[in-house]
Structure 1
Amino acid sequence: MSGEREEQLILRVQDKDLADRIKNILKEDADSYASPNIEIHFDEKGSGRRGTFILGSDRFPLAVQDLPTIVESYKTYDDVNLVKTANIGQVLVVSKEGQNQSQATKCRHGVTPPMRDARKRMFQKPHNVDSTTMRQLEEDLLVLAQGQAPKNMEIIDVEEEFVVDDAGIGSWQPVTKQRAPAPATKKQKAKVAASTSSGPAEVEEF
């Protein structure tokens, strides 16, 4: 087994006709010499993110872009068990023939439709918070972790229950705790004992 590390990338082709040609080539027999060769060459000068995608005698501009998130790839031999093979973090963007090469280094979209425009929707700019405020928040969190209330604050324990009214509309309502009756005093116990005693028991004869 070779000790080289396996690397995987995603190929994103913007030209539909070129994408169909690549699919047809991949479906054909791998031993067929009639299929044109597919080659990828990167520019030796520059950042290494630009290159050329070659299919037969056709050449297309190529750019390497970073995906918004890491994509995991899996393979299976029995359509039941999955084995993770790699983490994919970059995509090869092949532009149309004659089109200007993309200069972007970060991919705007993810791989699946829900990740469309993910970099703008899900990755917000960090908030500019004063360092003094951050230190105060850290101190307040440590005090809360010890079960105490921070300075100028009060902890109120409120118990709620979900109540549904006659109209079928439910809402959270505070639980009203009933006060337990006070324990009886000795005089009250003696009075109750005297009231329950009714003299000697009567015996019925049959």
Structure 2
Amino acid sequence: EDIMLYAMNVFSFHYHLFRLFYLKNLNSLLIYDEVMGNMMGIFVTPALLMYFFGTAIELPFLNMVLKLCNKVLVPVAVGQVLRATPAKHFFVNNKKAFKSLQEFILIGLVWNAFCNAFTKGLGIEFSHGLFLLGLLSSLHLGSFAVLYKLFKSKLVNFSNADAIAATYCTSHKTLAFGLPLLNTIFEGNPNLAAYCAPVMFIHPLQLLLGSLIASKIKEESEDA
């Protein structure tokens, strides 16, 4: 069940944003991924979870979607409205400060998630945790390799930049959205900690493995 929840989690944006800046292959696919990933997280992911875990979810589907919209769509809508006001000029003039604030907020979300995990426990035994780390590493590297080969193949016919962007967009999972998603859907469930464990573990694994992969891909791109 834990791995199924991990697989249905939405895509990560910030991790591959950092790496694609590093690779100099940032393009429109990344922005599309952010929008579609969040929309799928609000509608598609809850529908899949209701299908596979219907008996374990007490929250009605409509209430679930409304809660997620309140957490995700409302802030985005407010931001879009503010762009049409003088607040946009204030943001542009203080862009570096807002960028730093955004990074601190993300770090705070991650820090809070890990603190909760260590104080309340992950809901799994130590041996199971080690097995999960190995399994997630294998799944992440395997999916990355398969997707990279697919997007580089003649079947898809992507450019090198698009292939790299598409691979990172489709192989990375998000902690910042994933944990609130699981907490909202499985609120009050005694297995909530165990359900969150794969999302917690994959966060540092993606950072480590993704950075190593980025170095390798950068070398290949420069040699090509």
- TM above 0.5: no
Bigger Rg over Cα: 1
TM-score scaled by length of structure 2: 0.21
Structure with the higher fraction of residues in helix conformation = 2
TM-score scaled by length of structure 1: 0.22
Structure with the higher fraction of residues in strand conformation = 1
